[in-house]
Chain A
Amino acid sequence: MVTELLRSRKHVFWQAFFLTVLFFLIGLVLGVYLEQLRADSSNADFYYSETSLYDSFALGQVLQDSYAPCNILKKEISEFADKVYYEARQLEKYDDAAELTNSAKIIHRKYDLLRTLLWINVINMKEANEKCDLNTVVYLYTYDTQDLDLKARQLAWSRVLEDLKSTEGDNIVLIPIASDQNVDSLDYLIWKYNITESPAVIINEKTVFYDLKTSEELKGVLG
């Protein structure tokens, strides 16, 4: 009788297994749902920013044909760059927290394309109107790396550039772009400006820095 009793008690192994699977699946579904929610939020910000970029393209076209000061365009581009920068920072945090889906990575690539378009727009604007003295600080970094030394250097660079932005304000347009996202237009610019390694900081499409600099040293190079 005791043996029978014990035999019936051993069903508990299967019961525990099914219970665990149930809790796990609920957790996984919640996790995927949470990551998707964040991705949707980032996508919504992205689409809004994309529209703003097209608006700045249009403004650039209009101002080329008039004698209006380029202050308006500088302000527009600077504000846009700041907005995209902070959205991308938020996206990075989502990306760090994402473990189940790649949705944040896909949106990250879209932002890199957006920032590449921004850079191209600024280059065109400066070529069209030499009097428009907007300082561009483009920061190229490697997004997908496990190299601790590289990550640490890139972290230091991003802090230096944040310092620079906080002191220079609208005088500079800060455009960080991941250089390993297979964006053809960016690859062309990298080739055009002869950028050989990452991370790299390109100031006004003329000066390229690879080794870490202080924000004061970078300020000295600005126009």
Chain B
Amino acid sequence: MPDTLTLIYLGYMFIALYFLSLFSLIFIQNRKEMFTTPKPNRNYSVSVLVPAYNEQDSIKGTIEAILKSDYKNIVEIIILNDGSKDNTLKIVRELEKKYSLVKVLDKKNSGKADSLNQGIKIAKGELIAVVDADSYPDVHALSSMVGFFNDENTGAVTTRILVRKKNNMLRKMQAIEYKIIAFTRKLLGFIDAIYVTPGPLALYRVSALKKIGGFDPNNMTEDIEATWHLLHDGYGVRMSFVAKSTSIAPDTLKKWMRQRIRWNIGGYQTILKYKKNFFRKGMLGLFILPFFSISLVLGTFGLGILIYRTFRRIFSYYLSTHYSLEAQTAVLRLNDVNLNPSLLNFLGVVLFILGIIFIFFALKYVNNHIKEKESFFSVFFYSLVYIVLRPIVLVVSMAKFIRGNYSW
């Protein structure tokens, strides 16, 4: 009978293989519809909300990107200046003078969610596009998202979010990550399981937003909460794989950690808020909530096992080296190398290879339309090093969340 650790490894491998199979099957069954964008059955009016806090470096570029959109019924672009302390207000006032579509709502700092809620109150459009002040929506983005609202049940539509500047290793890793997320999120869309409409570009039906009371100002990730609220109230969330928006990703580990901790804490807050929906009908209860929660547990537990095994191995090497030196014998021998593969090693290698193949496929699929390419080394580094950082952030986030030590 295998020991406990072996059974745990086998359990992890089963789950990993399951999700790999799930995504592969969804792709195979829906590959012809990946780039489908329904033609809008009417000309929806769109109000664009751009929440901004200290975005002097990017806000002008964001507004100009929105203005370049080929969607002809943008009725207004409302910049929500959230009490910026830099030159953001000065810049947006100039934009307001220059472009008739641009309006500025200057307000005291109260957070992104509250800013958006104030924008919803004054927006005139039937649809609201939320665009982060450091994101550049593609010229075709809005026009390829609007058609999904032909279905009266659609509450929100999301899009591909890609990294704009890839000038260091961390940003390159995030670029890969965002592309894989875009690919898997589209696949989740086919089973009604999109769990977030990220801030860089998301389109909402105003009536749906108003029905759910807008965005939750107490949540660190108002985009996740709004999406789950829409799903809870029976709305559908779709994704346009044709549309894209590029965003600035953190360029230092410290900024990256801060962003991920915020995302994770927002995730915990949202899970707790909707915990009563576990295993209730609808994909929120049957898939999204369990999926999120199991990922948390598995990620934390897996990290614990990895740390335990690593330290045990290091300690074992230290001891055997110490005793070998004491006995004046070789510290390492060729004989000690065991080339007989065990089942776990074999399954692990197979899973790793399958995972790499999936990543390469996802990247190739996404890159096909944007003419980009990642090096083999980048993908390997992503698979072996970057991915290991995530459980560490998970644990740190959990600690902060439990202590209540977080704020925007």
Contact yes or no, B2 A149, CB < 8 A: no
Give the distance in Å from the alpha carbon of A34 to the alpha carbon of B340 in the complex. 10
Main secondary structure of the interface of A (DSSP, over half): helix
Contact yes or no, A12 B22, CB < 8 A: yes
Contact yes or no, A159 B329, CB < 8 A: yes
Contact yes or no, B30 A148, CB < 8 A: no
A38 surroundings in chain B (CB, below 8 A):
340
Check B310 for interface membership: any CB of A closer than 8 A.
no
The contact string, 1 if C-beta is below 8 Å from chain B, for chain A 151-165, is 111011101101100
Contact yes or no, B324 A156, CB < 8 A: yes
Contact yes or no, A12 B25, CB < 8 A: yes
Give the total of B residues in contact with A, Cβ under 8 Å.
48
- From A55-63, A132-140, A169-177, A211-219, the one touching the partner chain is A211-219
Contact yes or no, A20 B323, CB < 8 A: no
Check B341 for interface membership: any CB of A closer than 8 A.
yes
B319 surroundings in chain A (CB, below 8 A):
148-149, 151-153
CB of A86 to closest CB in B, whole Å:
10
Contact yes or no, B316 A152, CB < 8 A: yes
B329 surroundings in chain A (CB, below 8 A):
156, 159-160, 162-163, 214-215
With A27-B343, A38-B340 in contact, is A12–B323 under 8 Å at CB? Answer: no
Q: B335 contacts which of A3, A17, A89 (Cβ < 8 Å)?
A: A89
Check A183 for interface membership: any CB of B closer than 8 A.
no
- From A66-74, A96-104, A111-119, A188-196, the one touching the partner chain is A96-104
CB of A119 to closest CB in B, whole Å:
23
Check B259 for interface membership: any CB of A closer than 8 A.
no
With A2-B151, A6-B191, A10-B191 in contact, is A99–B342 under 8 Å at CB? Answer: yes
CB of A174 to closest CB in B, whole Å:
14
Give the distance in Å from the alpha carbon of A149 to the alpha carbon of B30 in the complex. 56
B29 surroundings in chain A (CB, below 8 A):
9, 12
Check B297 for interface membership: any CB of A closer than 8 A.
no
CB of B30 to closest CB in A, whole Å:
7
B346 surroundings in chain A (CB, below 8 A):
27, 31
Q: Which of A19, A20, A97, A99 has the most CB of B within 10 A?
A: A99
- From B13-21, B93-101, B208-216, the one touching the partner chain is B13-21
8 A-B contacts (beta carbon < 8 Å):
A12-B191, A24-B14, A35-B343, A97-B341, A97-B345, A99-B3, A151-B320, A214-B329
Q: A2-B153, A89-B335, A155-B324 are in contact. List 16 more A-B contacts (CB 8 A).
A: A6-B190, A9-B29, A9-B30, A9-B192, A12-B25, A15-B25, A17-B18, A34-B343, A93-B338, A93-B339, A148-B319, A152-B320, A153-B323, A156-B323, A212-B326, A212-B327
List the 3 shortest-distance A-B pairs measured between CB atoms, nearest first.
Answer: A31-B343, A152-B319, A156-B323
Contact surface of B with A, Cβ cutoff 8 Å: 1-3, 6, 13-14, 17-19, 21-22, 25-26, 29-30, 151, 153, 190-192, 236, 287, 312, 315-316, 319-320, 322-324, 326-330, 333, 335, 338-347, 350
Contact surface of A with B, Cβ cutoff 8 Å: 2-3, 6, 9-10, 12-13, 15-17, 19-20, 23-24, 27-28, 30-31, 34-35, 38, 89, 93-94, 96-100, 102, 148-149, 151-153, 155-157, 159-160, 162-163, 212-216
